[in-house]
Chain A
Amino acid sequence: MLQEADIGVGISGVEGMQAVMSSDIAIAQFRYLERLLLVHGHWCYSRISSMICYFFYKNITFGVTIFLYEAYTSFSAQPAYNDWFLSLFNVFFSSLPVIAVGVFDQDVSARFCYKFPLLYQEGVQNILFSWKRIIGWMFNGVISALAIFFLCKESLKHQLFDPNGKTAGWEVLGGTMYTCMVWVVNLQLALSISYFTWVQHIVIWGSIALWYIFLMIYGAMSPSFSTDAYMVFLEALAPAPSYWLTTLFVMIFSLIPYFIYKSVKMRFFPVYHQMIQWIRYEGHSNDAEFVEMVRQRSIRPTTVGYTARRAASVRREDRFYDQIHTDLVAF
């Protein structure tokens, strides 16, 4: 039975370890099941869906900027960035924050997961990983990439960016675009999560700082290794105020659409866990009657397993009224 189920939970105890050996998750006492499901189950679902959506977003942002640049190189496959920049994007400059989200993020704290057990339904109803959300994040990636590329290209249009009259070459455009991109993807993550511990602060701001440090170290290496990135930051980019102004502008501009979307959603169309965040913010969570009222009004008849999946797919086909009644009778 444990092996037939989608997830089998075994309890290790006086009767031996046989259940534990054939289960996916082992716990020590039966009452730990409540925490396993309500707290860790909900967190796991929320973290993984955030992580995957964000992963698509950042790679799409990265790839689409390179693709857009190809249109200006007559599609000759000349990348917009130096080779090492390309390789290290997914290693140093944007990987740790997303791992921190996937491992540590908590949209509501454990206490609230117990208080509002219906948060678990977010997973059953597939609210946080619906196609709408995935496509929405991908679209966000595309518009971020469009903003980054075209704004950087326009601000360097005639390559006159330096107060000393020198012109901007390929490495200056690449360096500017890459800087904007590192800022945008990291700030986007900071905007989309609502749980900041020292871990998140270190990885997000650290990744951004690491980019500048890397530029300086890589630029200081001998030109036979760093080729066109040799001294690009210290000599060309950093002394030019237009570089800093462009970076600031692009990072704010790319995030405004998502910011508007999130503000409107949070205030006017909040999802269940966002409602819980509002309840916590307004201090109603200590009011036992209020909490009980919220729980009661959230309850809906649910089904499990095959029946739940069929009901969910049937809802998508807009024939849910009759089917829900049928399912309830069967359940």
Chain B
Amino acid sequence: MPSNTASSSSAPAGSADSSSSRTKSKRPKYSKFTQQELPACKPILTPGWVILTFLVISVIFIPLGVVSLFASQDVVEIVDRYDNDCVPTPARANKVAYIQGGADKSCNRTLVVPKKMKQPIYVYYQLENFYQNHRRYVKSRSDAQLRSVKDENQIDACKPEDDANGRPIVPCGLIAWSLFNDTYALSKNNQPLNVSKRGIAWKSDREHKFGKNVFPKNFQTGNLTGGGKLDENKSLSEQEDLIVWMRTAALPTFRKLYGKIESDLEKGDTINVILKNNYNTYSFDGKKKLVLSTTSWLGGKNDFLGIAYLTVGGICFFLALVFTIMYLVKPRRLGDPTYLSWNRVPGGGR
């Protein structure tokens, strides 16, 4: 920058004493960094860049949206709400009493497959209005206890489900205590369908968070039953239902994986579900649904990403056109400071 060096190069002359002998210059050592003269890229939003950006966004987003929408449309999903229908008619006036009572709670449901479903088909249970993300609930667990036997007594965070008669509950806490315990037995055309329960939990949970030597103890022995019981002979790392349940959900409406069907289902097949309606969601107006779903590379049936990409791609394309027209129709003389706000009114004013 010529003007800068010109103004500072006369410093040695200025700092020379009146004795006119050349004293040592006090000018600091020049560096681009300290003088703020680093090579810089100074982009500004010219019309070309604006239109180009919008076009690039729409060119990328529209195909992504189409691909995502196709992936989501390929997924076949069957959702069946059963919590109301599975309460026998005479008991519907007081569902809470029914569910807490000892009657046999088996229920028969029939599902029809709308389109061919390729294996693996995932079976989920969906709960609604269940706040698994409530702070007190999320804190009510003891990770140390789940991992190793010697930490069995670390139950402070688990109140009120921490001990039974002075002996620690394993696994302690409200999350484990409220374990979902509806079961589903599926059959197709009178042939039982095998629902595999292996590998439904995340691998890191099974191997690192739930110990292989930790076995359930004193579980669900109190007066208040919150959910399912656990087999005391299976170690926690094999209790995949518990592991899936203990990964707390993010939202009040959530699905959790129940099992996998490893055979295909043809269109028009009738699936008969014998389910046990054990879990009490009636006290808080929750809903229970059974979901069978295939997956695609994008996950489950969710048109949102596809539609969103398409919409935004379309809007950006439209904006590119609008900006092109705007720039053509209203060319502004740039660099003319009469457009400055404080010059528009004679004598100033903003």
Contacts and interface: CB of A to CB of B under 8 A. Distances in A.
A207 B4 CA distance: 34
8 closest cross-chain pairs (CB), A and B: A160-B300, A173-B250, A78-B135, A165-B122, A197-B38, A169-B247, A76-B135, A161-B299
Nearest to A108: B42
Interface in B266-303: 293, 295-302
B202 A163 contact: no
Interface centre among A153, A162, A290 (most CB of B within 10 A): A162
B8 to A, nearest CB: 9
Contact of B312 (A125, A249, A277): A249
Chain A, interface size: which category?
A: 35 or more
Contact of A167 (B39, B47, B257): B257
Nearest to A130: B350
A267 B302 contact: no
B343 A74 contact: no
Interface in A83-127: 104, 106, 109-111, 114, 121, 125, 127
B65 to A, nearest CB: 9
A151 interface: yes
Secondary structure type dominating chain A contacts: helix
A84 to B, nearest CB: 15
A83 B304 CA distance: 29
Contacts of B122: 165
Given A245-B305, A324-B349, A77 B135 contact: yes
Contacts of A196: 40-43
Interface residues of B, number: 94
Given A76-B136, A320-B349, A167 B43 contact: no
Given A253-B308, A300-B343, A300-B348, 17 more contacts: A29-B11, A29-B14, A73-B131, A109-B1, A110-B37, A157-B251, A159-B251, A159-B254, A160-B293, A161-B300, A195-B40, A223-B204, A235-B203, A252-B61, A263-B323, A267-B47, A268-B330
B3 A300 contact: no
Contacts of A274: 44
Given A155-B304, A246-B305, A301-B348, A165 B334 contact: no
B79 to A, nearest CB: 9
B294 to A, nearest CB: 9
B343 A297 contact: yes
B215 to A, nearest CB: 20
Given A157-B302, A165-B122, A125 B44 contact: no
A272 B134 contact: no
Interface stretch (A2-10, A54-62, A178-186, A279-287): A279-287
Contact of A170 (B68, B249, B302, B309): B249
Contact of A315 (B41, B45, B136, B350): B350
Interface of B: 1, 3-4, 7, 11, 14-15, 26, 36-47, 50, 53, 57, 61, 64, 68, 120, 122, 124, 126, 131, 133-136, 138, 143-144, 147, 200, 202-204, 208-209, 244, 247-257, 260, 293, 295-302, 304-305, 308-309, 312, 315-316, 319, 323, 327, 330, 332, 334-343, 345, 347-350
A301 B301 CA distance: 66
A260 interface: yes
Contacts of B208: 223, 230-231
Contacts of B203: 235
Interface stretch (A18-26, A134-142, A209-217, A236-244): A236-244
Given A109-B1, A231-B204, A315 B348 contact: yes
B38 A169 contact: no
A266 interface: yes
B342 A170 contact: no
Contact of A242 (B204, B250, B298, B349): B298
B308 A151 contact: yes
Contacts of A160: 124, 255, 293, 295, 299-302
A267 B249 contact: no
Contacts of A174: 250
28 contacts: A72-B252, A73-B131, A73-B133, A77-B135, A78-B135, A153-B251, A158-B301, A158-B302, A160-B295, A169-B247, A170-B247, A194-B43, A227-B143, A231-B208, A245-B68, A267-B47, A267-B327, A267-B332, A274-B44, A275-B335, A277-B44, A278-B44, A278-B335, A281-B46, A294-B337, A297-B336, A320-B345, A320-B349
